[in-house]
Amino acid sequence: MRSLRIAGRIVGAVFVRELRLGALHPGESLWPLAFFLMVATLFAMGTVPALPRAATPGVVWVAALLATMMSLPRLYADDAAEGTLDRLLLSPAPPEGWVLAKVAAHCVWTGGPLVLATPVAALFFGWEPRTTALCALSLLLGVPTLSLVGSVGAALALGARNGGVLVALLVLPLYVPVLVFGAGLVGADAAAVRGHLSLLAALLAFSAFFAPVASAAALRIAME
């Protein structure tokens, strides 16, 4: 029981530390949000004049996907350079636990602002309230999945010379189902909404179970 309490405290400390680091460096934390809004603004201002309204959820989701991916290369790189990653791997806490804590903090600082910015994108594209709510819900379910899958890519690319490019090559194919179901939920009719929600929830549950295990294994190999 004591070892479990110690492991729980370590995992909690990692989560709090990641939140504090995000608060201390708001520019780095909120840059994905700025990118997301910039892409939405460019399309809304007529960069693609013939863009049908039905395609705008896809634009928002692609912007969210790219914004999430921008911060992934540094998910483990800074801790590895400072030696924090070595200490965490030697700690009694299971690596899957603190990996999940780091991903959760990443979701707070990346996914949270994207979800909150959905009404702004809705104003740009002239969405109805129902479309706005569905888009926010799809991002709420989908962005954590993107972060979980991205953590595996970030762990595999740790120490690589062009880590950002390698992360993109690793995770982009795995992002396609999330993108398809997330954008599909926004444009779905009432009968299909439940199906899209179930698929997004299933992807999130699958990623939450397997991604920390895969990330922890990749980190052990990278730090040997």
Nearest-5° Cα angle at 109, 107 to 115: 70
Q: Residue 24: which pLDDT band, with cuts at 50, 70 and 90?
A: confident
pLDDT of residue 1: 63
The structure tokens listed for 145 are 């999945």
CA–chain centroid gap for 5, Å, is 28
Q: Does the pLDDT at position 60 exceed 80?
A: yes
pLDDT of residue 50: 56
User: Cα–Cα distance between 149 and 147 in angstroms, integer?
Assistant: 6
The string of pLDDT tens digits covering residues 2-17 is 677 888 888 999 999 9
Segments making up each domain of the chain, as ranges: 1-223
CA distances from 19 to 29, 105, 220 (A): 10, 6, 24
Please state whether 126 falls in left (phi above 0), alpha (psi between -120 and 50) or beta. Answer: left
Q: Does the pLDDT at position 78 exceed 90?
A: no
Q: Which residue has the tokens 């991903």?
A: 103
Q: Across 38-47, 115-124, 205-214, which has the greatest mean pLDDT?
A: 205-214
pLDDT of residue 223: 82
Q: Does the pLDDT at position 116 exceed 70?
A: yes
- Mean pLDDT for all residues in the chain: 87
The string of pLDDT tens digits covering residues 183-206 is 988 888 877 888 999 999 999 999
pLDDT of residue 148: 95
Q: Residue 61: which pLDDT band, with cuts at 50, 70 and 90?
A: very high
The string of pLDDT tens digits covering residues 138-178 is 999 999 999 999 999 999 988 777 777 888 888 999 999 99
